[in-house]
Structure formats: structure tokens, C-alpha cells
Amino acid sequence: MDFELTDEQRLLQDTVRRFVDERILPNAVENDINHHLDLDAIQGMAELGILGIVIPEEYGGAGLDFVCEALACEEIERGEAAFRTLISVHVGLNSLALLKYGSEEQKQRWLVPQASGEKLACFGLTEPAAGSDVAAMKTTARREDDSYVLNGSKNWISYANVADHALVFAKTDPSAEHKGISAFVVERGMPGFTTLDTEHKLGIWAGSTGELFFENVEVPAENMIGEEGQGFEIAMYGLDQGRFTVAAGGVGVIRACLERSVEYARERETFGQPIGKYQFVQDMISEMVLGYETSKLLVMQAAWMKDQGLRNTRETSLAKWHATESAFRAAHLAIQVHGAYGYSAEYGIERYFRNARAPIIYEGTTQIHKMMQAEHALGFRNLNGRGGDVSPLCSWAPALASVNRPKASLSSGR
């Protein structure tokens, strides 16, 4: 078992770390307070290749592995959650879905400019009445000659008001539930397609969140990704990719809170000694250490499986659940360590607390992930969707082999 990073991975980690220290952190508090989206920082991310980090070089990407993506997300969210969110929607949810399901012409048209950062992309799945229950979506796509006419809306869409391309999911067969969903690339400027910023959010003030509206939007049939009715499969694949970056970003939040808290606990004195000497403060620091290392191990387990080409829905789900909950806990503890200063915007600790709340909801709520883990363990859900493939470290999985055998195998044995 090798925990050593390669020279390429170390270089990527160091490069992104410097970028965060020099370009993101110096302005992070001010941008957050002013609700300012720093497009120059996004351009810097594009120049570093982060907006196409795991996209093959032949499509304009950096061609790096998923360990590199995890390391980059950790560093970026150590600075500002809004920019890691961009990696999630632009790379994970949108670009990787195009890479897997798009035709060669579609990849050249949309993926190549996205991988270079020339164009930004978002992911239009969530609706006012359809969050965890994807099949409840109301947006429709009606076929008319060589086009599909889209009507409906999406909300809580990261970078909705900034993205050039939106991967949008709509019902082509409203009676078929999740089997009636299809995926389309909708481009900014199409008649009837409008966007609007979402205001008065709890956190991620320095980011972009908004709504998508479709009023008789004529989308060429050639903009359909995959086949008609394949949208649910594409959406679930995209979520596997996106929530991986959410988990990795959560690791960055924990680390930021840990580093800041350790520094403060060494310097701040009460009753003649640093507060880090007190056991209650040490208890809080130790919780952050545990949260950081367990979360990072789960993220790297998922990254290893992704790099091996193994299905990792279960492992990514576990990493996302644990890392986001641990990040919120770490931010809570960091405020406690800093006392009143942690509550002040001046120190920026409360920013991590506010920003860490949303990831517990999006890309699968904690409750959804708990349900997934329990159903995998109980055998009510096939392990990673096929024949019991899980991380080699998961020793309990073989016990479910008979439960997870394909139905055809079970019937043939009767």
C-alpha cells in the first residue's frame, strides 16, 4: 500500500497552494463581504489547467489523475468555497459527463472550450419541487421536427448567471418517471433561455448561484447528450464526479480551520499561558485532526478507484458524507477556539462556517448518503451497481456477494 505522492502530484499540489496563498486568500474576506465573484481568479484557475484538470489533453485538458483533482480541490477550498464549487459543476458535473456520453462532434464543440476555461459550464438538474427526488422534475422537452422545445425552470444552480453552457435535464416522456429524462446542452443566448441570480444565501457569497428559465426554448436535436431517456443515467454519473470534488473540498475546509486554530491557540494567552495548553482547546484541535485525516483517506480511496476505472458510487458517497459533516464540525470548533474573534468577519473563520453548510445539502444530502450506505450494506442496493465491486479495503463486502448476484444468475440456479 503506497501513500506516497508522485512528483507530478506534488508539483500540482505546490502550484495550486501558492496560487491560493497569493491570489485567493488575500482577497477572500473582502470578496465574501462584498458578494463579489472574482473572475480574474477564475481566469487564473484556467491558466493553471484546473478547469480541465482530469480532461484528456486531446480535448484541451491537463490530463491529470483524480488524486491531482482531489489535491487541487483541497487547496482551492482552503481559500474559497466558491471556486471549488466551480470545479464541481464545470469539471465534475458537466465536462466529465460530456467526456463519457458526448459524441466526438459534441466534445469538440463544447468540451474543448470548457477544458481550456474559454467557456464556463453549469449543471441544470435541481428544480423547486425536485431535489433528491429527481424523477419529480417538471421541466419538459417536446420534440418538434429537428428540435426539442424546452419549458420549465431550475433553481440552486451554481454559476447559472455566468455559465456559457448548461447541461440541462428535462422530461421527454413525462409518464416514464426517471426513464423519461433526457439531457441537453443549452447555450447562453438561445431565445427563451434566461437566468437570474439567487440572493440572500447563508453562505458562498463570493460565488454565483441562480436559476435557469426555459420558455419555449428551441434546442437543436443535435444538442441532446446520449440518447432519449438516458438523462437519469447521465445525471447520476455526473453526480458521482461532482460530489467527489465536494468531498475533497471539505478536506480543505477542515485543514484551513485546523491550521488557523493551531496558530491562534499557540499565540493567544489567558491566565499566563497559551490557550492551546488547556485540555478543552486540545480536545477541539484533536477533533479537527481526526476529521481531516479520516476524510482525506476516504477521498483518496475514491480517487484511487476512479483512477483504476472502478465504479465508486459507494466510496464517493461515503467520502462526501463524512467530509462535509466533518468540515462543518471543524468550522464550528474553529469559531469556538477563536472565541469572539471567530464570530467576526475580520478573521474570516465565520466564512468557513457559513460556506461549509451548503455542501451538506447539495449533491446528495447527508440523509441520502446515509440511506445509500445502509442499503449497500443490507444488500437492498447492488454494491456500486454491479456484482459487488467495492474498495479492496472493504472486507465485509464479500458477505453480500450472493445477495448482489445478478437476477439472471439467481434464476438460472433454481
Q: Which residues are known to be catalytic?
A: 363
Question: Which whole-number Å values give the CA distances from 183 to 98, 99, 150, 210, 382, in the listed order?
Answer: 10, 14, 11, 20, 25
Question: Which whole-number Å values give the CA distances from 166 to 93, 98, 119, 190, in the listed order?
Answer: 10, 11, 11, 11
C-alpha atoms less than 13 angstroms from C-alpha of 32 in its C-beta half-sphere: 26
Helix, strand or coil, per DSSP, at residue 100: helix
Residue type at 79 in one-letter notation: G
In contact, 85 and 207? CB cutoff 8 Å: yes
Distance of CA 158 to the CA centre of its chain: 11
Helix, strand or coil, per DSSP, at residue 158: strand
Residue type at 299 in one-letter notation: V
Residue type at 105 in one-letter notation: E
Distance CA 365, CA 167 (A): 21
Residue whose entry in the numeric block shows the C-alpha cell 434566461:
194
Tell me the three cell numbers of residue 327: 468540515
Residue whose entry in the numeric block shows the C-alpha cell 467576526:
344
Question: Which whole-number Å values give the CA distances from 49 to 62, 102, 106, 193, in the listed order?
Answer: 6, 21, 21, 30
